[in-house]
Each structure stands twice: as C-alpha cells, then as structure tokens.
C-alpha cells in the first residue's frame, strides 16, 4: 500500500509527519500523470501545483478554511487529496467528476471556477462573511500568473488591500525562473517576513512612528526600497498587502513553514510562489503548451505534434486569417491569451507586428479593437464563445453602439465536450442578436466558414462568425476569398410539408432527417440579418417549419424566426430545436447534442410529432 492509499481526506494528510510530505507529493504526481494519460485533461499545470496543493491542505483546516482555485486548471491534486482519487478514472466524462472545481461535487470545492481571475473576489467575499459571522476560519485564493493579467483580479486586490481581513492570495507563478542563489535568499526572506517577530516589530514600529509622520514615511520608503531590491512585491505592498516571496513552490519545507507563519498573521497577505509547469514529467516540462490540455496518450512515447488530417474549424480560421492579411494590410489579429486554442500560431509567426495577445483580458481585447477601428484599422478578435460573455458591455457600448468595424471570430460555439458547462458556447446567438448593428453568421461547413469570415471582414461594421469545436464534414475549400451575399440563405434540398431551417453545422443532421421525411432544407447562413423573404415563402408553402441550432433555444435563432413570422402575421406551425434550458455537463459533444435532439433520428421524431399535432 502506498502512502497515497491511506489519504482519504485532508484530515488524514494532516496526521502525517512533515518528513512524509515529499513522498506523498511524489506519489500524487505519479498517480496524476498515469490517470490523465488515460482520461485526458489538463496536465502540465496540474503537475506544477502538486507540492503547493499538499502544503495548503496540510497547513489549513479544509474544508472549514476555504481554498478558491482560480480557473481550476490546477486542481487535480486537490481532487485526489479530497476523496476523489478513485473518481479520477471518470474525469471529464459523462456522469464523472468535472475537470474544474464544482461546489455540487465536493465540500472541498469552495467555489466553482472555469473562467479566469475570479478567485480573489470570491475569497474576499468569504473572508468578509467569516468576519460577519465571528469565524476564525481563513480564505485563500490561488491564482496563476496568467490570470493576474485580468483587470478583475486587480479590482479585487484593490478592494482587499483596503480591508483588515486575513485574506491570503497565493500567486502561482509558473512563468518565471529564479536562479539557485536568489531562490535560496528569497526562501529565507519569505520565512523571515512571514514570521511573528517581523510582523510584531513592524506593527510596533508603525505605532511609534505614527507620531512622527515624516520619519514614518522615510522608514516606509526605506523598507520598500530594500524589499524592492530583492523581491518584485512593491506593487502589492502599495495595494495594501504584506508581500512575501517569491519562494520555491516545489520545496515543501519552505512552503509549509511559510504558510504556517502566514496563517497567524492578520490583514491581507500575498504569497508569491514559483512553480514549473509539467514538473516531474520531462516532455511536459519541455513543452508545457503541448501538454496543457491532452487527450489520452502513452506516457512512455509522449505526445506527437499533430500533422495532416482533416482541418478543424479553428485551423480553417487560422489559414483564412493569414490569407486575408496578405490582401489587406489593415487586418490586425487579437486574442485574449488563446493563441494556440484560437488558431493564431501561424498568423503570429507570419505577421508578428500585426498580432496582439492582450492576456486574459477579454474586456480590454474588445475595447482595444474598438480603438484600432476608430483609426481605420480592421481588427479581427479571435475569442471563444464562453469568454466573449465576459466582454458583453464592451461589445455593446464600445463597438456596436459606435458601429465600429470589428470582426469577431467566435470559436467553440455550441457544445464543447469534456470541458463542460463552464466552457460551453450555448448563449452567443441569444446575447448577440439583440444588439443593434450586429451581423451574425453561422456557417454549415468548412468552406462556408471561410467565405462567411470574408463576408464579415468586408462588412463595414461589427460582425461575428461563430463555429464549433472540432472538425466539419470535410467540405472542399475554395482557394480564393470570395464573400457570400449578406443575409441570404441557400436551399440545400427541396421537399414538401416540412421545412428545416438550419443555422450552422446542424445542417448535416437536418439533411439526413429530410431524406426520411422528404422535407425541404434551407441553410440559413445568417442569424442577423435574417433572410425574411425566404422564411415567409417557406411559411406559405409548408405546414411545419423546424429551426435547428447549436445554441440555447431561448432567445436564439429559432426565436428570431418566430419573431419574423409574428411581425408579418404569417401563420404556420413552428418547432424549435436547440440546446435545452440547462447547463451542459461534461460529456462527448455528440451526447450533448442529443440533449437538444439535434441528431437526425431525434429531428425526424420531433417533426413527425409536431406535424401530427
């Protein structure tokens, strides 16, 4: 039996001798690597957070003390140590545990995450609730260096620094290296500055010098100058935090002693921890991006770079972006920290001066694009549907209200599979189509995606093209960059009685269903502007209109069709097929589509039932 086999909860972990923690961390890392190699998931970030996770649960009284993990990409060790070790075999699968923290899943998951930079705000709220209730429990926010690029994190820091709450913010910095001598010095300083003697001496000095403001200010500046020479914490000190670090995030002795000291301190504390992505697995250490999110793989052979095969919609977009950039010097590509995921690697290499990664800052990305458009540039913002939600005000106020020429390439629209509810692109059609001045296109295959991207780019105003995760049916691609007519649909099959109005890649299933029903199929292409003339014609010549979309039924493309029919007093039965009014839990994309009855057999059954009624 391994040491890990004896750990069922963090209470078991806290019974260990401190000298056993390294062995436990090694066993957790080995188990994590083996488990993820079978299930897939986020690997390199989780390998880098093992010792930090062990130390936090060892020092803090979880779950009474709350640990809020930012994003959640680094919580697999946390799940393993909090009673979910055996459940890791079902990670990110239908009916299994989620790849991110979920309050419904465990009392140790203090806050559900999946989107970036929310941890400090949530942990601050918990710390204040503890104060209100007279509780001595602690709240800890664990945030990665990438998540610190978002404005929300600094809004929370600004708020927290003005309080006396004993909030701990742990910055898990995995993009910085510290040479051994500097690392050792900082480890020593961290233990010194987190200790009671330093804290009490500082407090006493403040009290004494408060009677002599000029000298107090001089002492404060001298302290900050000395610390600033050794550590990069002046910014956080200015925001009201006691900055400690940076320390080696893989040295359990230093981590445990520093955290124990911090737990005794009052007021906001900021601990800077340096870790290495992929720690303990050489291929992941060498290429953390490749091993960030993985499908099942052989740990001995590692992961080979993907080459050839049918291109995904993301690749279609990336190739189109480079082709269009060659024709129009005004095209600028923007991503909020999703270069690889959004297909901008080739563009960033071919056009480095026209490529902008603004960090995890979706709001800034859109307003930055708006500023570019004001000066005659033609920005293209590549963004996931789920992350566009975070910049809704900027979309409305800074882009659409001013009718600025910004193109949105919306990836991961519709079901996304194993990433589940936090990343599903279920709502973009609903929240986009109510915004004035917007053009919204939903391509049905790869070539249509390429041509609609051109249409959106050439449109003088805000336009969005949404496409799903993964590949399409394998349509042949045009060599050129020909646009499609704005707001015009195309009939893919002529039939009778029933007409399918397909928005996006559900077209393929609609065509299969239509063969069995002898139905008409129209590839709508545009959600806004709608092809009103074609909709009214279908209403006159068919008994039932079936709308199909990979978006929430409520407020989606189908709703737009019903609004159109009502506005023109057109009487015809309408059936809306789309995603149900609930969040999509992790599963395969195919199973998630089944929930909305978007497969051919479900479409046939629903259409027959609606027609008979």
Close Cβ partners of 237 (under 8 Å, ≥ 6 residues apart) = 224, 227, 243
Close Cβ partners of 26 (under 8 Å, ≥ 6 residues apart) = 280
3-state SS assignment for residue 549: strand
Q: How many other C-beta atoms are found inside a 10 Å radius of the C-beta of residue 333?
A: 25
Residue 131 bears catalytic tag: no
Catalytic, out of 84, 191, 390, 469: 390
Alpha-carbon distance of 162 to 165, in angstroms, equals: 9
Long-range contacts of 593-602 (CB under 8 A, 24+ apart): 593/414, 593/415, 593/550, 596/550, 596/553, 598/506, 598/509, 598/548, 598/550, 599/509, 600/509, 600/510, 600/512, 600/513, 600/516, 601/513, 602/577
Alpha-carbon distance of 138 to 147, in angstroms, equals: 22
Which helix (H) or strand (E) segment holds residue 324: the answer is helix 313-327
Residue 544 phi/psi, 5-degree rounding, is -140, 130
3-state SS assignment for residue 163: coil
3-state SS assignment for residue 539: helix
Alpha-carbon distance of 531 to 490, in angstroms, equals: 10
Which structure tokens are listed for 362? 């979706």
Alpha-carbon distance of 9 to 94, in angstroms, equals: 25
Close Cβ partners of 337 (under 8 Å, ≥ 6 residues apart) = 146, 149, 357, 358, 359, 360, 361
Degrees to nearest 5, angle at CA 416 with 149 and 339: 35
Catalytic, out of 277, 339, 433, 450: 277
Residue 116 phi/psi, 5-degree rounding, is -80, 155
Confirm if 76 and 88 have CB atoms less than 8 A apart.
yes
Beta bridge pairs of residue 171: 143, 272
Q: How many other C-beta atoms are found inside a 10 Å radius of the C-beta of residue 208?
A: 12
Q: Name which of 122, 471, 532, 56 is nearest 273 in CA terms.
A: 56
Alpha-carbon distance of 339 to 357, in angstroms, equals: 7
Close Cβ partners of 366 (under 8 Å, ≥ 6 residues apart) = 381, 391, 394, 395, 398, 399, 406
Confirm if 548 and 500 have CB atoms less than 8 A apart.
yes
Residue 277 bears catalytic tag: yes
Cis preceding-peptide flag for 595 (omega within 30 of 0):
no
Catalytic, out of 237, 362, 446, 549: 362
> CA dist 412 to 384, 500, 600, Å?
6, 24, 22
* Residue the block writes with tokens 């910055």: 171
Question: Which residues are marked as active site?
Answer: 277, 362, 390
């Amino acid at each position: 039996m391994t040491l890990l086999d004896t750990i069922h909860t963090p209470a078991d972990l806290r019974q260990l001798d401190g000298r056993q923690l390294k062995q436990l961390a090694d066993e957790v890392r080995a188990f994590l690597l083996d488990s993820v190699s079978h299930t897939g998931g986020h690997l390199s970030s989780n390998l880098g957070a093992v010792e930090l996770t062990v130390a936090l649960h060892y020092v803090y009284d979880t779950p009474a003390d709350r640990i809020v993990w930012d994003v959640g990409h680094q919580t697999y060790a946390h799940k393993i140590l909090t009673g979910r070790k055996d459940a890791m075999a079902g990670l990110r699968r239908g009916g299994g545990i989620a790849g991110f923290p979920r309050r419904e899943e465990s009392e140790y998951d203090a806050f559900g995450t999946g989107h970036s930079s929310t941890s400090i705000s949530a942990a601050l709220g918990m710390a204040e609730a503890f104060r209100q209730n007279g509780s001595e429990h602690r709240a800890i926010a664990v945030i990665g260096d990438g998540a610190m690029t978002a404005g929300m994190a600094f809004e929370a820091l600004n708020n927290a620094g003005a309080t006396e709450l004993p909030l701990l913010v742990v910055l898990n910095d995995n993009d910085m290296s510290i040479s051994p001598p500097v690392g050792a010095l900082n480890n020593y300083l961290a233990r010194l500055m987190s200790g009671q003697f330093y804290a009490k001496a500082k407090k006493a000095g403040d009290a004494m010098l408060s009677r002599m403001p000029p000298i107090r200010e001089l002492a404060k500046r001298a302290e900050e100058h000395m610390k600033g020479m050794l550590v990069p914490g002046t910014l956080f000190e200015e925001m009201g935090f006691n900055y400690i670090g940076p320390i080696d995030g893989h040295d359990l002795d230093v981590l445990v002693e520093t955290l124990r000291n911090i737990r005794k301190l009052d007021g906001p504390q900021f601990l800077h921890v340096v870790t290495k992505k992929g720690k303990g697995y050489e291929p992941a250490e060498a290429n953390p991006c490749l091993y960030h999110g993985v499908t099942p793989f052989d740990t001995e052979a590692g992961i080979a770079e993907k080459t050839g095969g049918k291109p995904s919609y993301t690749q279609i977009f990336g190739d189109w972006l480079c082709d269009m950039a060659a024709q129009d010097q005004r095209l600028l590509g923007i991503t909020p920290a999703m270069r690889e995921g959004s297909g901008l690697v080739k563009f960033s290499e071919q056009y480095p001066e026209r490529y902008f990664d603004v960090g995890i800052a979706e709001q800034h990305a859109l307003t930055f694009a708006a500023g570019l458009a004001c000066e005659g540039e033609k920005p293209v913002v590549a963004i996931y549907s789920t992350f566009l939600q975070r910049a809704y005000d900027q979309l409305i106020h800074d882009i659409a209200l001013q009718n600025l020429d910004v193109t949105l390439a919306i990836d991961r629209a519709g079901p996304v599979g194993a990433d589940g509810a936090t990343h599903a692109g279920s709502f973009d059609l609903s929240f986009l189509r109510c915004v004035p001045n917007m053009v919204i296109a939903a391509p049905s295959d790869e070539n249509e995606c390429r041509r609609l991207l051109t249409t959106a780019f050439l449109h003088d105003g805000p336009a969005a093209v949404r496409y799903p995760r993964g590949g399409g049916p394998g349509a042949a691609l045009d060599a050129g960059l020909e646009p499609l007519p704005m707001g015009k649909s195309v009939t893919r099959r002529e039939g009778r009685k029933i007409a399918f109005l397909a928005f996006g890649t559900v077209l393929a299933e609609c065509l299969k269903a239509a063969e069995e029903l002898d139905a008409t199929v129209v590839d709508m292409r545009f959600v806004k502007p709608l092809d009103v003339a074609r909709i009214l014609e279908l209403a006159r010549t068919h008994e039932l209109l079936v709308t199909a979309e990979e978006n929430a039924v409520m407020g989606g493309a189908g709703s737009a069709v019903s609004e159109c029919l009502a506005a023109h007093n057109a009487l015809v039965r309408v059936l809306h097929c789309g995603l149900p009014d609930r969040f999509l839990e992790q599963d395969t994309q195919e199973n998630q589509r089944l929930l909305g009855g978007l497969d051919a057999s479900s479409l046939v059954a629903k259409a027959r039932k609606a027609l008979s009624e």
